[in-house]
Amino acid sequence: MRHEFFSSNIICCIVLRPELGEKYFKPFPQGLRPGKSRALIAGTKAPTPEQPEYYRKLPRRFSELRRNTTRRALDSFPNLAVYVTNSAHGFFTRHALTKPKILSTRPLFPAARAVLDRNFEVDYWTPAERITREELLKRVADKDGLVCLLTEKVDEELLARAPKLRIAATVSVGYDNIDVAACTRHKVAATNTPGVLDDTTADFAWTLLMAIARRLLEGDAWMRSGTWPGWDLDQLVGGDVWGKTLGVLGFGRIGRGVARRASGFNMRVLYSDAVRAPEDVERELHAEFVDRDRLFRESDFISLHVPLLPDTRHLISRENLEKMKRTAFLVNTSRGPVVDEAALAEALENKKIAGAALDVYEHEPLVNPALLGRRDVILTPHIASASLDTRTKMAVMAAENVVALFEGRRPPNALNADALGLK
């Protein structure tokens, strides 16, 4: 990229929005100042025969630029090394002077690495242990982009320490690790990876639901202990799934996926959500929209699929657990803090509900010790989306969001695209 820049005959640098200018401006040649809206054209080599023509066509003044310049027009100048502008006018940087620097807090999968390596200078965190907060803050300080996992917090502190940062791309659909409002204030695009993990996650929620109802892990442990005395009538009798009532809390992409699976088990499906689903979706999934109270009272299985937000934190509270059937099971593949773990342990101990299967925890990687020894609980290590295909797709999606931003396109999964005026 650097070579491309210096071998070009013409540099056109356009900074339209002063408040965005700073970020784009940094790597530019001396003499340009952010905040001054202008077009600048300069020759770095002796003029070629075509150059006068370029000079003539290129917009020189801001006013001309606004009226006449489109991305297409700029693209027609093959020697144009740099142009920078903002989304309000529909075009962005075409060439950076150097490859943007990206920090990836994991080595990712080869397919995602290939996308990043083609476009960026990437600093991958490769040690087996997670990157510490201190190391993260240190490494992100000079980076233009960040690819992170849900275990890394992108907050005011991090953003303040990374003045060049333009994008934070989390390899997860849940983005409670990202302070999106703070990103917007710092003019950093925030992206997630929705859609590609729906079925894998729904499959896993279903796996947990079946496993807790039919006491799968207890059976497995018994067999391995070598103490099973042989078949008997009342051994490990569990709850039926077939024909029972499923309550889906959070009827988005994944919640609907779980409801779809329930139809194969002849289940009645109730759902509760902040927003009612369209009629055709309800019809297709045979799902009935109910208030939360009714969902708690009537469901034999409750599967959680809400994002973690202030009003979903401890949604599964002592009070709501009290409303559930004593024979009911809880499945959580959403986010740990949606469940009050202490209240859950208490409800299980007092036989208020029959069991719980958890993939996510209130204080990951810790689990409330009161849950650890219980036979009526299944615990898995946050692996609901963990198939190789899906995790690869998620990583590639995060990488492609970063590429899109630096190519001047709106990142397909930007959470604050409108707030930043990305087009």
Ligand X SMILES: NC(=O)c1ccc[n+]([C@@H]2O[C@H](COP(=O)([O-])OP(=O)(O)OC[C@H]3O[C@@H](n4cnc5c(N)ncnc54)[C@H](O)[C@@H]3O)[C@@H](O)[C@H]2O)c1
Position 273 contacts ligand X (CB under 6 A) = yes
Output 28 or 204, the one with its CB closest to ligand X: 204
d(CA 44, CA 60): 17
User: Which of 279, 314, 111, 305 has its CA nearest to residue 205?
Assistant: 305
Check 17, 106, 261, 335 and give the catalytic one. 335
Output 83 or 206, the one with its CB closest to ligand X: 206
Active site residue 409: no
Position 291 contacts ligand X (CB under 6 A) = no
Give the contact letters, 354-393, x = binds to ligand X (CB under 6 A), - = no: -----xx---------------------x-xx--------
Q: Token pair for residue 346?
A: 């208490």
Classified as helix, coil or strand, 72 is helix
- By CB under 6 A, name the one of 145, 174, 408, 411 that touches ligand X: 174
Inter-axis angle of helices 388-406 and 110-119, nearest 10: 10
User: Which of 145, 137, 180 has its CA nearest to residue 399?
Assistant: 145
Position 413 contacts ligand X (CB under 6 A) = no
Number of residues that bind ligand X (CB under 6 A): 29
Q: Which helix (H) or strand (E) holds 167?
A: strand 167-170
- By CB under 6 A, name the one of 94, 215, 305, 393 that touches ligand X: 305
Position with the least CB separation from ligand X: 252
**Minimum CB separation from ligand X for residue 284, in Å?**
16
d(CA 38, CA 36): 6
Beta-bridge partner residues of 102? 122, 145
Position 206 contacts ligand X (CB under 6 A) = no
Taking a C-beta distance cutoff of 8 angstroms, is the pair 291, 249 a contact? Answer: no
Position 250 contacts ligand X (CB under 6 A) = yes
Active site residue 364: yes
Active site residue 61: no
Q: What are the residues whose beta carbons fall under 8 Å from the beta carbon of 6, sequence distance 6 or more?
A: 44
| Strands 39-43, 10-14: pairing kind | antiparallel
d(CA 410, CA 246): 39
Binding segment (CB under 6 A) for ligand X, from list 25-33, 215-223, 301-309, 321-329: 301-309
- By CB under 6 A, name the one of 87, 201, 299, 390 that touches ligand X: 201
**Minimum CB separation from ligand X for residue 305, in Å?**
5
Binding segment (CB under 6 A) for ligand X, from list 32-40, 113-121, 152-160, 247-255: 247-255
Taking a C-beta distance cutoff of 8 angstroms, is the pair 326, 307 a contact? Answer: no
**Minimum CB separation from ligand X for residue 248, in Å?**
10
Classified as helix, coil or strand, 120 is coil
What amino acid positions are annotated as catalytic residues? Answer: 335, 364, 382
Binding residues vs ligand X (CB under 6 A): 173-174, 194, 197, 201, 250-255, 273-275, 305-309, 311-312, 333-335, 359-360, 382, 384-385
